Structure 1
Amino acid sequence: MSPASSPAAASTDAVADTQPTADTRLTPGGPGYRRMSFALFLAGVATFALLYSTQALLPLISDGYGASASAAAWTVSASTFALAVCVLPLSALSERFGRRTVMTASLTVAVAVGLLVPFAPDLGSLITLRALQGAALAGLPASAMAYLAEEVRPKALVAAIGLFVAGNSIGGMSGRIIGGWIAQAWGWRVAVGVIGVIAVACAVAFRMLLPAPRHFTPGSLRPRALAATVGSHLANPLLRRLYLIGALFMMVFGGVYTVIGYRLSAAPFSLPQGVVGSIFIVYLVGTASSAAAGRLVTRLGRRGTLYLGAGTTMAGLLLALVPNIVSVLLGLVLITAGFFAGHATASSSVSHTATHGRAQASALYQTMYYVGSSVGSAVGAVAFHAAGWSGTVGLGFLAVLGVVAITVWGTYAARRPAAI
């Protein structure tokens, strides 16, 4: 009997066959993790810088086109609504053609449109270009979440998504600050043009740095299969709650930051455009809170972190009602911290909960998230026009109460497994 066919050898082979395959997914400290994190961080920077490039400039756009606050606000709402409509079909393309391919194409088209935005001859043309830009960006958020869920080990997923969301906050902050000061000196058109050039640099670096996917398996583009996948996600009570939570958090954030420029440039503050844009430095708080979401979830659990995010946001809204610049700024700090902690927790929970069709699961979250942004921006501007700053704050407070109610229901449902 040869050694290979001996009982001992057979036993060894059997043990070898049952050994678990080594997990080759990325983990902090491992090869490729830093490149991946920085690449997606830059993608997040470009996405939010482009998506909200006009938000801090709305008073100047209103003056330039002779438009009301509610009309100018559509330069924000149109982009986020278009993203919400297109995110699901573009996420389906990522299932077939790959996450990195779709993300690259999305950024390429979005930055190209961004370079055309400064030349819009009228408000209608500007809104149309912004809608096209939002539609192009739709291929990035859900594909990025799916890429992370496939390429990063589960224990590191919340932290990795937190870094991507942190890139969103840096993009939103830098675009508004840079745009505000440039607009004060040279007008809003030059400001959005510079933001477009910055986004081009981010897009090029993203494509050069992002590691090729190693765990992606191409799926089907069949509409019936896509509908079945979407239906299974919508049938999951936990995912439905997470989708609604993301939408409600973003209603608050979208409403507050769409009208804050009007609030601060009017009496009693009467701040110049550059200073108004610099107010968005509070986004750094969002960078920190989203990056810390993983640690908060470990300590408090998902629902505990959502309660903390909602409570912080409520406190910020109440503080921002005080007609004092320090109180308004502190309120914005708390609103930003609470929103980003809640968003990072909810979005990472979607990726963790979905066991199949992760791109579609993330796309549904992104759809609801940006619907919330569109509604918050549009309705928040209407509320501001009708009742001033207190009207926008009141709308935000109602949305946060919705987050609390849904989370309370989730806590109750978790104690009754049969009801889930």
Structure 2
Amino acid sequence: MNYIQPHTKVYQKASIALFISGFVIFATLYTTQPLMPVFAKEFGISAASASLTLSISTGILAFALLAAAALADGFGLRNIMTISLFATSVLGLLTAFSPNFATLLVMRGLLGFFLAGVPAIAMTYVGEEFDPKGLGKMMGLYISGTSLGGMSGRLLTGLLTDLFGWRDALAIIGIICFVLSYLFWVFLPQPRHSARKQTNLKKTRLAYRTVFVNGRLMLLISLGFILMGSFVTMFNYIGFQLMGPPYRLSQTIIGLIFIVYLAGTLSSVYMGKKADSYGTSFMIKIAIAIMASGALITLFTWLPLKIAGIAVFTFGFFGAHSIASSWVGQQAGEQRVQASSLYLLSYYLGSSLAGSFGGFFWTHFEWPGIISFIAGLLLIAYPVIFFAGKGAREAETKKQLKPYSKNADI
């Protein structure tokens, strides 16, 4: 097989392209998160309504992921990703010219639809086009692009909003992402192994049905909702607290707080290794306990301690998400693609639904209400892990006993 080999010019260009794809998508997606207090003030809306600027994007993204994966068979992986990046960049730019909040939501909804083209396909492109010996490194590069994109989008938005205003901030980020999208189109090689093919709807439907009737697997998939719902709720409303008394922080300073994402970049690898050593079920419980500890620390009013709590919470989230997503893949068997797609669906629905519903707790109970909501979500995770882990242990026991039983019959 003629795979893209390390240490070649093609490999270097493809590496840059995939990093860019993750960066553009997640930088654009999260630009409005630090702006929610600004939207609430400018448009005269509640915190929950302001959170819709992110929730509507992630909600539509969740379902569009399934469609994008199917369309890729007919239109080609590179074509879908290129269209996704250019459309995302243009919509990000046009969002800056929204005359009212309703238009802003429409633009963000369209953006969510076109965003799906990269997350649904990038990992498939990597798996099919690169030398299998270097897949780990290439996957890591793409994921680092998503992490840095999410962080940079928030940082740049905060800084540029303080300097020029939120509309100029979104416009500048849109232009930057458009230029990066052009570089992606230039650098990414045409696929050599992922030929276009007709989608077999019957086989796809049967594969999804197999996942749906697997109760243990569906429990694991639901962890995506719980984890991402908690995480986005924290970051959706922390800006409201920090812009108000007694902190009254600027957009730039609030944006800088998102540097705590670097703790998450470290934890995903570290906690994954620990899961290999001490067991998936045990370590994901530890990671969720770390999330809960970090959330509780943010109840303290002293700002350095509050920021430390956010960092601890972020460390725990990325570790738990890394373990949960790999656990889903391990348990899915031949339906790995479908299970992973449903995990992402659950993940982004958590961002959309829980992220917006958290606004009720902020409006009525302020920050203690937000932490209570997050703690409640995280508590639900423990029985989910218990029953999912119990089912996994029973299945493994049956596999081990099967050959023994045959010998006993003889």
For the Cα contact (< 8 Å) 2:33–2:235, is it kept in 1? Answer: yes
Residue from 142, 145, 170 that aligns with 1:192? 170
In structure 2, relative to structure 1, the CA distance for the partners of 1:94 and 1:350 (3 Å cut) is farther
Consecutive unaligned residues of structure 2, counting only runs of 5 or more, are: 400-410
Is 2:150 the partner of 1:183? no
Residue from 343, 363, 373 that aligns with 2:351? 373
For the Cα contact (< 8 Å) 2:272–2:319, is it kept in 1? Answer: no
Residue from 361, 370, 376 that aligns with 1:398? 376
Aligned-residue offset at 1:353: 5.2
* Matched residue, 1:8: none
The equivalences for 1:82-161 within 5 A come to: 82-151=60-129, 160-161=138-139
For the Cα contact (< 8 Å) 2:26–2:146, is it kept in 1? Answer: yes
Residue from 263, 270, 280 that aligns with 2:248? 270
SS, match of residue 271 in structure 1: coil
Query: 1:83 is aligned with what amino acid?
Result: L
Query: 2:184 is aligned with what amino acid?
Result: F
Residue from 150, 175, 182 that aligns with 1:204? 182
In structure 2, relative to structure 1, the CA distance for the partners of 1:340 and 1:167 (3 Å cut) is farther
User: 1:343, 1:28 → 2: CA distance?
Assistant: 29
Query: 2:28 is aligned with what amino acid?
Result: L
Query: 2:74 is aligned with what amino acid?
Result: R
In structure 2, relative to structure 1, the CA distance for the partners of 1:365 and 1:88 (3 Å cut) is same
Query: 1:323 is aligned with what amino acid?
Result: T
User: 2:352, 2:377 → 1: CA distance?
Assistant: 14
Query: 2:75 is aligned with what amino acid?
Result: F
* Matched residue, 1:346: 324
The equivalences for 1:377-388 within 5 A come to: 377-388=355-366
Is 2:30 the partner of 1:75? no
The equivalences for 1:318-329 within 5 A come to: 318-329=296-307
* Matched residue, 1:56: 34
Of 152-161 and 136-145, more deviation after overlay is shown by 152-161
For the Cα contact (< 8 Å) 1:170–1:287, is it kept in 2? Answer: no
User: 1:302, 1:25 → 2: CA distance?
Assistant: 32
Is 2:394 the partner of 1:416? yes
Aligned-residue offset at 1:209: 3.3
In structure 2, relative to structure 1, the CA distance for the partners of 1:273 and 1:279 (3 Å cut) is same
User: 2:16, 2:318 → 1: CA distance?
Assistant: 19
Kindly provide the CA deviation profile for residues 116-163 of structure 1, in whole angstroms up to 9, marking residues without a partner as x: 000000000000100000011112212123333444577865664444
* Matched residue, 1:333: 311
Kindly provide the CA deviation profile for residues 41-98 of structure 1, in whole angstroms up to 9, marking residues without a partner as x: 3222111111111110111112221222111111111111111121111111123333
How many residue pairs match? The answer is 398
User: 2:319, 2:137 → 1: CA distance?
Assistant: 12
Of 337-346 and 262-271, more deviation after overlay is shown by 337-346
* Matched residue, 1:313: 291
User: 1:140, 1:359 → 2: CA distance?
Assistant: 15
Larger Rg: 1
For the Cα contact (< 8 Å) 2:216–2:391, is it kept in 1? Answer: no
User: 2:9, 2:336 → 1: CA distance?
Assistant: 24
CA RMSD, Structure 1 to Structure 2 (Å): 2.7
User: 2:277, 2:137 → 1: CA distance?
Assistant: 14
In structure 2, relative to structure 1, the CA distance for the partners of 1:162 and 1:383 (3 Å cut) is farther
TM-score by length of 1: 0.85
SS, match of residue 47 in structure 1: helix
SS, match of residue 220 in structure 1: coil
TM-score by length of 2: 0.87
Query: 1:73 is aligned with what amino acid?
Result: S
Kindly provide the CA deviation profile for residues 290-342 of structure 1, in whole angstroms up to 9, marking residues without a partner as x: 35455344434433442332122111111111111112101111111121222
